[in-house]
Amino acid sequence: MTTTAVKLGAHVAERGVEFGVWAPKAKRVDVQIEGPAGTAHHRLETQGDGVFAGAVAGIGPGTLYRYRLDGSEAYPDPRSRFQPEGVHGPSEVIDFSTFSWTDQAWPGITRDQLIIYELHVGTYTPEGTFAALIEQLEELKSLGVTALELMPIAEFPGRWNWGYDGADWFAPTRNYGRPEDLNRLIDAAHRTGLAVLLDVVYNHFGPDGSYWRAFSDDYFTDRHMTNWGQGINYDGPNSRFVRDFVLDNVRQWIGDYHFDGLRLDATDAIMDDSEPNILEEIQEAAHAAASGRDIVVIAEDARNDVRLIRPVDIDGDGLDAVWADDFHHELRVYLSNARENYYQHFQGALTDVATAINEGFAFQGQPSPMTGAARGTRVTDEPASAFVFCLQNHDQIGNPSATASTTRSSTAASWPRQRCCCSRPKSR
């Protein structure tokens, strides 16, 4: 479902560029074209429901622009495809149709085939770029992995960032390269036989460079509160525009960039009391945008909720898989006796590790030793491949707000302890 027939964002047309923006707080919107000779303003016409649109002739890809609201301040496009000067600079018109893909025979990837390597583009190579990462694809393939998962790449302020406070959700950060560099990376990965997943954050907006409130207060709601403040408005007044904002973002990553799936950050903080739930619409949009390729949509969720991976027709959200952290946490407590933060939920007994391996979740409704409250839901006939296990990820080895012992598992325990845990049992 689409709220308006007007395409929002900047789209290259036959004789120029068409612009569309949702800005219900403004009475007038001009697109401000910026170039070496200065700036020029072109008034956009109101289309109803707070939407303004119009075309500017004689310009094309590479044009820099902002939206000027009510003749005053000018801001980057909320749907900017690229921010060459960072979150506070102008947006750039991007034309996806100019890239020549070579992956037409690439089938995608199913959850049964997933062996994931989580990767931070900015730190994996000395250059920290999409282009430099291409040179490492054969080495990554030799590890035996089948998919790379890029940590969030949406434009963020500054030079160094984990990516979880992205301010421009549609724009790959300039720190890693240009959009066409990302296209080349994914195209090369597919030639190498590697799928590429993307970590996306739909539970909060980054605090610096996020200008959504200048356009509309309805991006946010005080009906739901998260660790980052007001929740994103998925179920209140004007929420259809916000939902379309997210769904179009999903379509871009899967359709325009050929990503093979998404990892949805902290879905327990994506709060939506409406039907259908936004998670259901995300997975539908993602699979539709894949145009027949196999893709996966994976939730990261602290609740151990099997409804995330149950089919829609039996009251589920229809996602392909869910991160199952109980395995890692039980194993980490066993290896290192970690007790901080969420590790307090876990006993670290090998019987509990075995339960996590055999059933997906260790906690399936029993009370947590940390809080006494029931945690998790009962696993029944959900397929084993719908539960994603990890040996470690960015939260456990690099996030001091999550755990005090931000070390790799291989250094958190003695070698005899690791060997005891990981050695094969003797044959009977």
265 is catalytic: yes
Q: With a cut of 50, say whether residue 426 has pLDDT above it.
A: no
Residue 308 has, within 13 A of its CA and on its CB side, a CA count of: 26
Residue carrying the six token digits 């025979």:
105
Q: 143 and 194 in contact (C-beta within 8 Å)?
A: no
Q: What is the mean pLDDT of residues 248-269?
A: 98
- The mean-pLDDT minimum among 1-10, 223-232, 323-332 falls in 1-10
Q: Which of 187, 199, 248, 265 is an active site residue?
A: 265
The four Cα atoms 136, 129, 122, 138 give a dihedral, to 10 degrees, of: -10
Q: With a cut of 90, say whether residue 140 has pLDDT above it.
A: yes
Report CA torsion sign: 73, 77, 82, 87. positive
CA dist., res. 377 & res. 85, Å (int) = 46
What are the domain boundaries of the chain?
9-98, 111-422
- The structure tokens listed for 5 are 């027939």
> pLDDT: is 59 or 416 the higher one?
59
Question: What is the pLDDT, as a whole number, of residue 5?
Answer: 79
Reported as a single tens digit per residue, the pLDDT across 111-129 is 999 999 999 999 999 999 9
Question: What is the pLDDT, as a whole number, of residue 396?
Answer: 73
Question: What is the pLDDT, as a whole number, of residue 427?
Answer: 36
Q: What is the mean pLDDT of residues 29-35?
A: 97
Reported as a single tens digit per residue, the pLDDT across 35-78 is 998 999 999 999 999 999 999 999 999 999 999 999 999 999 99
Using alpha carbons, list the distances in angstroms from residue 303 to 225, 235, 330, 344. Answer: 17, 21, 16, 15
Residue carrying the six token digits 């945008």:
289
Phi, psi of 182, rounded to the nearest 5 degrees: -65, -40
Reported as a single tens digit per residue, the pLDDT across 186-204 is 999 999 999 999 999 999 9
Identify the CATH number of the domain defined by range 111-422: 3.20.20.80
Report CA torsion sign: 378, 382, 386, 388. positive
Tell me whether the omega of the peptide bond preceding residue 416 falls within 30 degrees of 0, making it cis.
Answer: no
- The structure tokens listed for 3 are 């709220």
Q: 134 and 177 in contact (C-beta within 8 Å)?
A: no
Q: With a cut of 70, say whether residue 428 has pLDDT above it.
A: no
Q: With a cut of 80, say whether residue 168 has pLDDT above it.
A: yes
Mean pLDDT of the chain: 92
Q: Which of 300, 317, 330, 382 is an active site residue?
A: 300
Question: What is the pLDDT, as a whole number, of residue 400?
Answer: 59
Phi, psi of 326, rounded to the nearest 5 degrees: -55, -40
Q: Is the pTM value of this prediction over 0.85?
A: yes
- CATH of the structural domain 9-98, one choice from 2.60.40.10, 3.20.20.100, 2.60.40.420, 3.20.80.10: 2.60.40.10
Q: With a cut of 80, say whether residue 418 has pLDDT above it.
A: no
